[in-house]
Structure 1
């Protein structure tokens, strides 16, 4: 079997099963495990999948920089942001992650809502300037320009002083086995600290992020209580999380 055909079949197996195991694929295709591992390495370098021990998972497509992601904000992200904003109750302390979906959340917070909003995203904070009753706490640190968020030791130290009601988290991958993942090591550490600082964590995940993975783990699925996704997301994508008793909200 030609390399191109093997890779196409690997992608088909990933789409069908949500993961591939190198040993099983080698047996299926009648080639050595070393050959399949080489294929997986090359495909990972091309951004086609995320390698894990023994095989691979689907790669998250949410890797573009902030400006590009902002320019293609979908109706689904608008709906997710709107649904999440409705969950914020008067008097609560909530944490908003960075990213384009969290920015939509901020834009849909009612102007008369009295609450405290904590964020490490300058772009999210700016959306709340015209909210007179909202207290905004902006976490500082080193600016991670890809996502326009603060990261690093200073950010984590500030986060550790906060006890919030809810953290609305954005990630690039949500997978039944890999958990919640993102593409930068330091950003993952900050998201993890934000999750620890809140009584509950709710994930904002458009459908292309479900059953996908990125290199760095944020938290396991046991660390969250809910996922908000688009109304049109296929049931097959959300079923694994519903089986884990994670509340799925369709926006």
Structure 2
């Protein structure tokens, strides 16, 4: 006889997904005192209800809830500040840098050095405003219709603007990462915009907060193997384990 009712198992599985972002059927079966077949049925039910994403042998949580760029800035702020400061190791003199619309990149813009003759291109007015008074940093704000939820321009006009540049280094905003599909975005148009940035970049960097690890958004845009630099915290053990085995420089804070 099962230790828990189906309803209790479903809630326990969701609780584990909220804390871990990824669960495996074999581990759940042992932990919840039931069979793998029962757990697979539970995961199938939860996926059909839109509460998780099935993967081979387990399930992933969806990307953490989003908000406006300013709203996201108040979430995990100290973690984002630490990532932004660590990312300064990647910035070199005379570079042309792209900063994607991202609350973490707002913090990065605020701490960029004044003495490196940098040129920063961004699709985010909030990021551009932080650089406006920095007279030694050239700032280019690309045009297009602003997306309220993303916090920047991601439409066809923005894509056409991106195609005028060849970036030395691009910092891409991400909604989620999983070992199954890599980095993903919540919105399709944002995915298309990010792919355009990828094609115009010499090197790609991601600043990844812990809540985005082993999660999934609807639109994958970057394979893990395409990334050059990853900045994450020491708590993201699964992320570190994966990227330590591929050609990507890890910066851990």
TM-score over 0.5 (shorter chain) = yes
Aligned twin of 1:41 = 48
1:199 pairs with one of 202, 206, 228: 202
Give the CA deviation at 1:147: 2.1
**Measured at CA, do residues 195 and 213 of structure 1 come closer, stay the same or move farther in structure 2, by a change above 3 Å?**
same
Aligned residue runs from structure 1 range 238-249, under 5 A? 238-249=240-251
Q: Structure 1: how far apart are the matches of 2:107 and 2:237?
A: 24
The two structures have a TM-score, normalised by structure 2, of 0.84
Give the CA deviation at 1:151: 1.0
RMSD: 2.8
Aligned residue runs from structure 1 range 144-223, under 5 A? 144-223=147-226
Give the CA deviation at 1:65: 3.0
The two structures have a TM-score, normalised by structure 1, of 0.85
**Measured at CA, do residues 126 and 37 of structure 1 come closer, stay the same or move farther in structure 2, by a change above 3 Å?**
same
Aligned twin of 1:28 = 36
**Measured at CA, do residues 32 and 191 of structure 1 come closer, stay the same or move farther in structure 2, by a change above 3 Å?**
closer
Q: Structure 2: how far apart are the matches of 1:32 and 1:99?
A: 36
Task: List alignment gaps of at least 5 residues for structure 1.
Answer: none
Aligned twin of 2:22 = 18
Say if 1:94 and 1:117, in contact at 8 Å, map to a contact too: yes
Aligned residue runs from structure 1 range 70-109, under 5 A? 70-109=73-112
Q: Residues 165-197 of structure 1: CA distance to partner in whole angstroms, max 9, x if unpaired?
A: 111112011111111011111111111111211
**Measured at CA, do residues 32 and 91 of structure 1 come closer, stay the same or move farther in structure 2, by a change above 3 Å?**
closer
Aligned twin of 1:112 = 115
User: Does 2:5 align with 1:2?
Assistant: yes
After TM superposition, the structure 1 stretch with the greater mean CA deviation from structure 2, 86-95 or 67-76, is: 67-76
Task: List alignment gaps of at least 5 residues for structure 2.
Answer: none
Aligned twin of 1:64 = 67
